[in-house]
Structure 1
């Protein structure tokens, strides 16, 4: 087939023909984040030739030249010191460690997550100083670090929650992050949250945060990063803000999205066996009827009506209900449990929820990373984590900003936000 392409991009009709799908299907894939698209000057939708070729090979079972791996550098840079707040099970911390950062302090309130950090640090020889407890009680005035990273709890700003923002006590934890920045005065401060933060309360919540960092003497920019284009086998979007101390005149760098995806088939190959939730027999019989990549719409109407109950009459696609994952696509965003009715995460071919180790693979935790606590806690720790490889890519950009690593073409320089114009 002859592809009409200009500068590596092709029109939607040619891309659909190349992939042997309808134009509507391709539009739906672009909307769901399975493939990237951009607009031409005339407004036409264009697709990257190499990305289309890779997706075509993945869909046909051929090797597309990609592989699942946990990204890691060979050595730690002692001078690249970092503090990690709200560290959870260590997704961001491990990503930063794998990139080369030297952690001097990690704080986590949840006892099981703190135990996960301590156990892995001791067993793997990281020598992390894990401080378990309430961040409100920490004094950062004696801490020295070039970077502070904080994934302040996101439920207060999540579309899946009540979206109360600063009206929720968890929302105020941003100001504990800001207090740490004020006391430590790091060269770079990084905040992470759900993409819903950008629009929460008409954008006023985010503006308040950016204003506070500006008041502390930091220039700040933010981007919404899509993990599926950064070596993570999962469609997961996170808002990342990077603040640089104004007196240092540092560039702000974000990772560029790659033109490939990692599929569940690649991620779960030879995955170790582990504990996992089980379906009740009645639900298992319903889920057996759902094909790979399908959901409640693929059920017989009488079965779907009974299974969905009151949700049957709700508006919207409700595509998370009775949802079975697809082998040759990234997983949908993991939640705190794989068998929640609204956000089902059923194995692609076996009729069961994803296991703990499968959850960990999808979040790009290495197989040697062990999670403490009961089964419910382990799922929660993994589901709440930032994917390790996403943390790695952000960390490599920050190391380049600080001059510890080379700046590459996979990094994009971004201008600070003019908060007054938000």
Structure 2
């Protein structure tokens, strides 16, 4: 009987340890004591779909996917290159990357001098010269609110938003497939109306949308609990092949902060030393009292009141406040400012915010990828990025799909 630890089960099922204890008490999932340590048999976990997907992972075969011909891509809202790097790793060639933010463009150019980086507002760019010459358009379009009330829920209703320009690029280029990514909250934004506008707009421009899916990065060789909504659209003349698109295989284990910082499955060396932001003196004194994996509720009541001030009396868990990460679990979502009170990301063992390189490793950027701009700008670029390994997994799915439809055309 193969046994795995309670931490591994907690990470695998993405449930806290206290819930496993509750399940043990009510008989839903009963641990086995092994040398005083709680463990669980693999067989007992087969009642959970995610456990079956991980245990039956075909990741090793999946990563053998290679382009059967040259596939090209346009990357929009490219940021610091998380999506572009992952796609490049699959063999996809970028013909254009567009980004408005100067420091992010400098990062792209510094690390990939040969990439065609077009700095500027997407609203001012005409993509028509690439019509029928590019296979893929990708982009994490920023999603400003746009109301659907009393409207036709179509392409024109997105005008004035950056999704409109994402869709306009697709219309002008006519790629075989596009990948859009966004925050999980888009699913239910404005009671689902925003997504309905987007779905109708995609239909209006001649593409068939695969049912949007939320992917948890932690299941794709990323030591982080980031969740992203993925939109995949196929040009209508190729829609008969749509069943051939398969979302990525999951990695065969869930990686942790320790995997990000230590030599092992993800990196060949321990995390390089790097400078980061620091806490003010009193905040550091308080944060030193937070245990690994803990947050403000693990402080004494006196310190809770001091640290939380007026928020102490408000409802809600506020679990990001005074939050220290744990080496034994995937990181919480990496944010743009790791020392901000609402979204604290304290190092698991040392009492300080994560450094730029530690944050980048949790996003699975390689150590030789150098971010440009002031320290705050570097943190922002990393926090806004798509994890490289998640983009790699998506890229493999795209390559596999294009290989399949190439066989039939």
Q: TM-score when scaled to structure 2?
A: 0.79
Q: Tell me the equivalent position of 2:138.
A: 149
Partner of 1:137: 124
Pick from 1, 9, 17 the counterpart of residue 31 of structure 2: 17
Instruction: Tell me the equivalent position of 1:272.
Output: 272
Q: Secondary structure at the match of 1:176?
A: helix
Q: How many residues align?
A: 353
Contact 2:67 2:400 in 1 (8 A): no
Shift of 1:46: 7.2
Q: Provide the residue aligned with 2:341 in structure 1.
A: 341
Q: Which residue number corresponds to residue 51 of structure 2?
A: 48
The CA distance in 2 between the partners of 1:332 and 1:46, in whole Å, is 23
* Residue 250 of structure 2 is aligned to residue 247 of structure 1: no
Residues 267 and 165 from structure 1, CA distance in 2 versus in 1: closer, same or farther, beyond 3 angstroms?
farther
Task: Measure, in 2, the Cα distance between the counterparts of 1:405 and 1:366.
Answer: 32
Look up the match of 1:186: 175
2:164 matched to 1:175?
yes
C-alpha distance in 1 between matches for 2:32 and 2:49: 13
Question: Does structure 1 residue 262 correspond to structure 2 residue 249?
Answer: no
Which range moves more in the overlay, 250-259 or 219-228? Answer: 250-259
3-state DSSP class of the match of 1:242?
A: strand
CA contact (8 A) 1:83 1:149 kept: yes
- How far is the alpha carbon of 1:256 from its aligned partner? 3.7
Does the 8 Å contact 1:149/1:191 carry over to 2? yes
SS at match of 1:284: helix
- Could you tell me which runs of 5 or more consecutive residues in structure 2 were left unpaired when the two chains were aligned: 4-12, 14-22, 40-44, 149-157, 263-269
Q: Who is 1:391 aligned against?
A: 391
Establish whether residue 311 from structure 1 lines up as the match of residue 311 from structure 2: yes
Deviation at 1:171, TM superposition (A): 7.7
Distance 2:53 2:406 in 1: 26
Query: What is the CA-CA distance between 1:303 and the residue it aligns to?
Result: 0.6
- How do 1:60-99 residues align onto structure 2 when only pairs under 5 Å count? 79-99=70-90
Match of 2:322 in 1: 322
Unaligned 5+ runs, structure 1:
4-8, 27-36, 53-65, 157-163, 408-422
C-alpha spacing 1:207/1:346, structure 2 compared with 1 (3 Å): same
Aligned to 1:281: 281
Q: 1:188 to 1:277 in 2, by over 3 A?
A: same
- Answer yes or no: is the 8 Å Cα contact 2:65–2:399 preserved in 1: no
Q: Aligned pair in 2 of structure 1 residues 374, 165: CA closer, same or farther (>3 Å)?
A: farther
Superposed CA RMSD in Å reads 3.2
- SS where residue 31 of structure 2 aligns? helix
Aligned to 1:119: 110
Rounded Cα–Cα distance in structure 1 between residues aligned with 2:159 and 2:296:
34
Shift of residue 14, structure 1, vs aligned partner: 6.6
Partners in 2 of 1:336 and 1:265 — Cα distance? 21
Q: Secondary structure at 2:213's aligned position in 1?
A: strand
How far the C-alpha of 1:48 sits from its partner, in A, is: 3.0
Contact 1:77 1:101 in 2 (8 A): no
Give the distance between the partners of 1:264 and 1:353, measured in 2 at CA: 14
Matches for 1:357-372 after TM superposition, within 5 Å:
357-372=357-372
Cα distance in structure 2, aligned partners of 1:357 and 1:278: 15
Q: Taking structure 1 as reference, are residues 166 and 114 closer, same or farther at Cα in structure 2, changes over 3 Å only?
A: farther
Instruction: Kindly state the Cα deviation for residue 257 of structure 1 after the two structures are TM-superposed.
Output: 3.5
